[in-house]
Structure 1
């Protein structure tokens, strides 16, 4: 398959972008440098906080800040764009209107993957920022594939947000908090799986018991990024 360059709009946050880059490398079948895909990564760390913009209904702040990134990637000649930030996909349609380059839809690809594995009427838990939860993007995605989204209660949501912003702030994180939430959503709330729907959560080293119930949206984006760029994903 012909190799195509991938554009990445990162910085949301920088550590998550670094993990995304590493995962693309680690999950590409390659015996030489030339087997890997070409990437143009923009680490746009000063983009406005997505949750704050959504909750305060100031989406123009984010869209105005990101529009030049698409122009840079068009100039670079990339074939597809990956944005390793779940919350930013609240703006997906308006971002896609800004460029003729295909933006890989992280949320739709994730919901499609879950449906292929668990089927219709699956109950799906989600761990995400309050911005992502309130935006309804995963609820809409699950409804598209005839699945039910289950959102954590207020106490759990506060714990999830604290964990996410601890990762962003490079503070110590107690992964047992997230592992306990995952276990509860599966064993007590009847969820078939739980989406790790924030790229900061992708930075955590969860224990095997919790991880086996998780579908990491970043992992889905990594696989599609490799495939759409003409690479081969490790099985």
Structure 2
């Protein structure tokens, strides 16, 4: 029996589009009815997650997201996914509201990471990094978490906010330079821990190497299998 997947998207909208496309492509199907039943709420008005965290306005942000969760529950959604890594600062609250049926992108990505190595780099927003969301999950999986230095973190934020969120393809050379520094730190892989970086990866074939572990791909796999589809992806 298939379950209905609710998605709080719009953070950003292009990332939500890529997530829906990945869900469709990762589901083995011979007809429409083989795909998942999905309700995607692209709530673009949600305040920026990193800015809210930095300003100490997490409770105001949560009040908005909690209404979205309740709306999706009222519409009959059985499971919830939120393709925004920084929003996972609320993952325990999401899970409580969903009665244990929240699919965590961070937990799924960390579980994938431990299959490829023990030293894992994390490239994401300042908000994700400030709360050490991936560090906690990776350590639970026996891995070491490595973050970029200050200059490279500024480069990551530049790609996310000044390029991808503005509809640009993203500076591949800058990203590869950041990743070369992560390799020099001994990383066995890097997690693309922001869905704007998932968009970047989707834009460039050069990033198809499994060394670039897309957290969105990990979320896609679990959403498909949990909600009754047949997964045909590469993880």
How high is the TM-score relative to the length of structure 1?
Answer: 0.93
Q: Distance in 2 between matches of 1:203 and 1:173?
A: 9
1:172–1:39 distance in 2 versus 1, CA, 3 Å: closer
Q: Within 5 A, what are the aligned runs for 1:39-118?
A: 39-100=38-99, 102-118=101-117
Of the candidates 171, 174, 177, which is equivalent to residue 177 of structure 1? 174
Runs of 4+ in structure 1 off by over 3 angstroms are: 206-212
Displacement of 1:94 in angstroms is: 2.3
Structure 2 residue aligned with 1:220: 218
Return 5+ residue gaps in structure 1 as ranges.
none
Q: What is the CA deviation profile of residues 85-132 of structure 1, one whole-angstrom value per residue up to 9, with x for unaligned ones?
A: 0000011112333343611011111111111333xxx11111100111
Q: 1:171 Cα shift?
A: 3.4
Structure 2, unmatched stretches of 5+, are none
Give 1:62 deviation, angstroms: 1.0
1:152 matched to which residue of 2?
A: 148
Tell me whether 1:164 sits opposite 2:160 in the alignment: yes
- 1:199 deviation in Å? 0.2
- Call closer, same or farther: CA 1:193–1:180 in 2, change over 3 Å: same
**2:123 is aligned with 1:127:** yes
Aligned match of 1:208: 206
Contact 2:155 / 2:178 at 8 angstroms: preserved in 1?
no
- Provide the aligned C-alpha RMSD in A: 1.5
TM-score with structure 2 setting the length: 0.93
Question: What is the CA–CA distance in structure 2 between the aligned matches of 1:109 and 1:132, rounded to whole Å?
Answer: 16
Does structure 1 residue 190 correspond to structure 2 residue 186?
yes
Q: What is the CA–CA distance in structure 2 between the aligned matches of 1:216 and 1:104, rounded to whole Å?
A: 16
Match of 1:18 in 2: 17
8 A Cα contact 1:126 1:197, kept in partner? yes
**1:9 and 1:41 in contact (8 A); partners too:** yes
Cα distance change of structure 1 residues 24 and 209 upon mapping to structure 2, 3 Å threshold = closer
Once the 2 structures are TM-superposed, how far is the Cα of residue 225 of structure 1 from its aligned partner?
Answer: 0.6
User: 2:114 and 2:170 mapped to 1: Cα distance?
Assistant: 31
Q: Work out the CA distance in 1 between the residues paired with 2:46 and 2:74.
A: 20
